[in-house]
Chains A and B, each alone.
Chain A
C-alpha cells in the first residue's frame, strides 16, 4: 500500500461530529420531512392470520372526506408490478431450490398474517386516511392458520403457500454427515440439548416511514425512506418490482433512527408510496406507528433446535450434530433465507476445534410476520446453541466450564472449520482469561455462599463467541446463493479549497460513521476533522453501495475509503512532483505537507488542492485536472470478531426476579478506530442480548395467529432499570484480510450475551435449561417444578 496509514486520530475517542444536530433537535428523520401538496397514506391490514379475500368494496371509503385514492392488490397487479423478492437462494439437500411463494405488495386474494397489507388509502390528512380505511368493506373467509413452529410441518396443518408442501421452504444441510456419524460412534459421551431461540421484534426507536414523489417533467421518482441500504432498495424497486428504471429513481435515507437489521429490507409500504405517487400526482407520506411496526417489521430469530455434542473421555469435542427448524414467517423477506443457513450453520464450530459437524435446517413458512436479519442474524442462534451445549457438557462431565473451553479452543490459524469458514486470526484464551480476571471468577464461590446467606441464588455463566462479520467476499457469498455482491464503494472528493467530501456506500443510523470515517481521512491526509464531510444515504449523491449491516462498515466500507485515499495520494504526489519540479519518487507526504526529499521545497495540502483545480501548466497527457478518486473494495475473507462474555446473576427465589449483578465483555475487534463508539456498540448489543435472554418475546396466539405482544405494554423492552453497568475489555489480534485490520463490533454484544446469561441463570437455579426469555414467571415456575441441583447435591 502506498503511503502508510498514520496512527494519528485512529484509536482516539473523538467526540461525535453528528451529535450536535441530534442533541439540539435538528436531526432530519424521514417523518420530519414535509413536502408541498403532500398526501398521507394509511394501510388497511389483515385482521386475520389466514383468510381468503372474497371481495373488497372501497366505494363508501372513496367518498369519505379527504380521500384522494384507494389502491388494492388488483391495482398493483393490473399495473404489472412485480412482488417483493428474497435476494438469497438456498438449495435443499435434494438439490432443489427453495420453494418461494408470491409476495405481493398488496394482497391479491389471500392474506397470510395479521398485519398483511390489504389496501392503501391516500388522503389529505392521516386522520382522513385512517377514518376512510375503516369504511373499506373486505369480505374475508377466515381460514385455519399455521402458527406454531413445532406443528407447522404436519400434514394436517394449514398451508401458507401452495408452492411449499408441509410449509417447508427448504431442507438445507451443511457439514459432513458420515464423518459426524463416525465421530459419534466413537464418542465416550454424548450431550443432548433441545433449545428454543425466541422470536424477537427489532424495535428501532424510529418507526419505518416513507415519502414517495414523482416529477412529471423529468419522469423521476424520489423515495425518502428509513433504509440501511438505499442503493439496494433502489435496485430491488427498479429491477425486480419495476416501479421505475434505476436511473429514474432516487432513494434517500436521511437520518435513520436505528435499524438493527429491520431497515435493510424492502417492504410493501415504501414500495406502494413511491409507486402510487405517480398515480395521484402528489407526494405520498407514510409514517408507521409502533403498532404497525410490531405487526409488519421483519421479526428476528425464532428457532427450535436439537443439538448433540460428542466428547471423548478427556472432554475433547469430537463432533456436533444439529437439527433446526427456522421460522421464515409468511413471506420470504429480502435476505431471510440466508439467515438460518449461511449466517447460522457456518458458525456452529464456535471457537472450538470441532473435527466433524453436520447441521440440517428446515426453513418453514408460518402465518406470522416475515422473519429476517436482526442484530447478529443467525450468529446469535449459532452461538446460543454452541455455548449452551458446551456449558451443559461441562456440567455433565464435571469439568470446569472455562477448562472445558480451554481444552477445545482453536489455537493455530488459519483454521478451516468443517462448515465453510476459514478463521484467520484470534486468541480465544486471552479474552477468556481477561474476562475471568475482570469478573473475579475465582471469588465466585464466596459470593455465591454470601448470597445464599441472604436467601438469594447466585449463578455465573460464560460465552466464548465468534462471529463472521464484514459481510463481504462477493465470490464467497455468490457461491453460497447471494443475488448480490457484498463489496463496498467510496469516493473521495478533494475540493479546490482543500476540504474533503467522502461519499460512502455505507449508511450510518447510529454507528457514528460521520466521525470514525472522518478520523480515518483526517489522519491520513493531515487535515482537521472538521474539514472532512462524510456523505451517505442518497443515491443521487453517492455511487452505488451496499449499505450497513453485518458489522461491515468498518471492515469493508472504511477499507474502500483507504483504497480511494491510496489513489488520491498517488495522484496528489504526481501533481506535487510537477509543481515542485521533482521526481514522483522523491515526493514525501506527511502531516498534510508534500516535500521533496532532501530539499526544503514543500507544498501544503491546501495549496496542492487548489493547484489540482487551477491546473495551470499540467502536462495534459500525464495529469488530468482535479483531485477525486473512487474505489470498490472487496475483501478476501469474512472477518472473525471473537471474545468472551461472563455474566453473574442473583435470583430472588420468592419472586423469580433475576438481577444481573455483573456483566463483563472482553472482545477482540482487531483495530479500533474510535474506542468510545465501539464501547457504545457493545453496550447496545449486550442490552439487546439481555432483552432476548430475560425480557423480550414476540408471541402469537397459537390458534388465532393474533400477535399477543403488539405494543410496549406487552412486549418487554429493556429499560434503564433492567440493565446493569457493563464492564468492557479488549484484546487484539489484527484482521489480516483488510488494510486497517478491523473486524467489526456492531453485533458482538447481541451474539455473545444470551448464552452467558442463560448459563448463569441455569447455574443459579441448578437446572439444565430454561427457555428464553427467563422471565420472573418462568424462573419461579422452574424453582417450583425442579428440585434445585444445589439441594439435591
Chain B
C-alpha cells in the first residue's frame, strides 16, 4: 500500500491504496465520485474520461500513482461554481444523452476537444469521438451538441 495524493475538483485528495489501483478506481471507490464510469476493460469506451492537468485522459488507462500531485477534474467538478458548463448545457439542449452512462466521458472529452480545436466541424468532431462509445444516441445529437457548444464558447 502507498499513499497517493492529488487535487481532485480543486480539493486535496489522498488515500492509502495498493500500487495497482487505477485512477478510475481511486476516483470511484476511494473518493466516492461515481460520475466517472467504467464501460469496458480494454480502454476503448471512454466512459471514464477525466482531465489530468487539463488534458482528457481515460482514467482506466492510468494508475492512481501516476496522477500523484496532479490536478484532476471529473464530471462532478465541471459545474463546481454552480453554473453548468456550456458543453453540459448543450448536451441537455440538443438531447445528446439517453441512458446517461457514456455521458460524463463524452462531456469531458468534448470539453478537451473544444479547448484544443476551437474551430470545429462535423467531420472533426466525429473523428475525435473515436475513443468514446455511445450505444443509445447514434451520436447524431452528441455531434450536434458539441458543435453548438463550440459555437457558444467562441
Instruction: Decide whether A and B assemble into one complex.
Output: yes
The answer to whether A204 and B135 touch across the interface, beta carbons within 8 angstroms, is yes
The answer to whether A205 and B47 touch across the interface, beta carbons within 8 angstroms, is yes
Q: How many interface residues does B have (CB within 8 Å)? A: 56
Best-surrounded residue of B47, B125, B136 (most CB of chain A within 10 A): B136
Roughly how many angstroms separate A696 CA and B78 CA in the complex, as a whole number?
35
- The DSSP consensus for interface residues of chain B is loop
Q: Which of A207, A256, A289, A723 contacts B139 (CB 8 A)?
A: A723
Residues of A within 8 A of B103 (CB): 22-23
The answer to whether A509 and B137 touch across the interface, beta carbons within 8 angstroms, is no
Given contacts A712-B40, A719-B133, contact A27 B100 (CB under 8 A): yes
Across the two chains, which residue of chain A brings its CB closest to B138? A687
The answer to whether B102 and A680 touch across the interface, beta carbons within 8 angstroms, is no
Best-surrounded residue of B34, B93, B141 (most CB of chain A within 10 A): B34
B 88-109 contacts with A by CB, 8 A: 88, 91-93, 95, 97-104, 107
Asked if B56 CB lies within 8 Å of chain A CBs, one says: no
The answer to whether B95 and A676 touch across the interface, beta carbons within 8 angstroms, is yes
Per-residue CB proximity of B25-69 to A under 8 Å, as 1/0? Answer: 000110011111111111011010000000000000000000000
Given contacts A24-B88, A205-B134, A725-B140, contact A720 B129 (CB under 8 A): yes
Per-residue CB proximity of A253-264 to B under 8 Å, as 1/0? Answer: 001111010000
A 203-225 contacts with B by CB, 8 A: 203-207
The answer to whether A289 and B41 touch across the interface, beta carbons within 8 angstroms, is yes
Residues of A within 8 A of B3 (CB): none
Across the two chains, which residue of chain B brings its CB closest to A674? B95
Roughly how many angstroms separate A18 CA and B36 CA in the complex, as a whole number?
18
Residues of B within 8 A of A683 (CB): 137-138, 140-141
Given contacts A15-B93, A290-B40, A719-B130, contact A258 B101 (CB under 8 A): yes
Asked if A96 CB lies within 8 Å of chain B CBs, one says: no
Across the two chains, which residue of chain B brings its CB closest to A206? B101
The answer to whether A255 and B100 touch across the interface, beta carbons within 8 angstroms, is yes
The answer to whether A24 and B75 touch across the interface, beta carbons within 8 angstroms, is yes
Residues of A within 8 A of B92 (CB): 15-16, 19-20, 23
Minimum C-beta distance from B1 to chain A (A) = 12
Across the two chains, which residue of chain B brings its CB closest to A682? B138
Asked if A512 CB lies within 8 Å of chain B CBs, one says: yes
Residues of A within 8 A of B33 (CB): 25
The answer to whether B75 and A687 touch across the interface, beta carbons within 8 angstroms, is no
Q: Which of A18, A260, A291, A726 contacts B41 (CB 8 A)?
A: A291
Given contacts A16-B95, A20-B92, A713-B42, contact A205 B140 (CB under 8 A): no
Residues of A within 8 A of B130 (CB): 719-721
A 679-724 contacts with B by CB, 8 A: 679-680, 683-688, 711-713, 717-721, 723
Across the two chains, which residue of chain A brings its CB closest to B90? A23
Minimum C-beta distance from A298 to chain B (A) = 16
Residues of A within 8 A of B45 (CB): 205, 290, 712
Residues of B within 8 A of A206 (CB): 37, 39, 99, 101
Minimum C-beta distance from B52 to chain A (A) = 16
Roughly how many angstroms separate A646 CA and B24 CA in the complex, as a whole number?
42
Given contacts A205-B102, A206-B101, contact A726 B138 (CB under 8 A): yes
The answer to whether B142 and A720 touch across the interface, beta carbons within 8 angstroms, is yes
Minimum C-beta distance from B20 to chain A (A) = 8
Which residues from chain B sit less than 8 Å from chain A, CB to CB?
A: 18, 20, 28-29, 32-42, 44-45, 47, 74-76, 78-79, 84, 88, 91-93, 95, 97-104, 107, 122, 125-127, 129-130, 132-143
Known A32-B34, A290-B42, A510-B98; 7 more pairs at CB < 8 Å: A19-B97, A24-B78, A24-B84, A26-B76, A711-B41, A711-B42, A712-B42
12 A-B residue pairs with CB within 8 Å: A19-B91, A205-B47, A289-B40, A290-B41, A511-B98, A684-B135, A712-B133, A713-B44, A719-B130, A720-B126, A720-B127, A721-B126
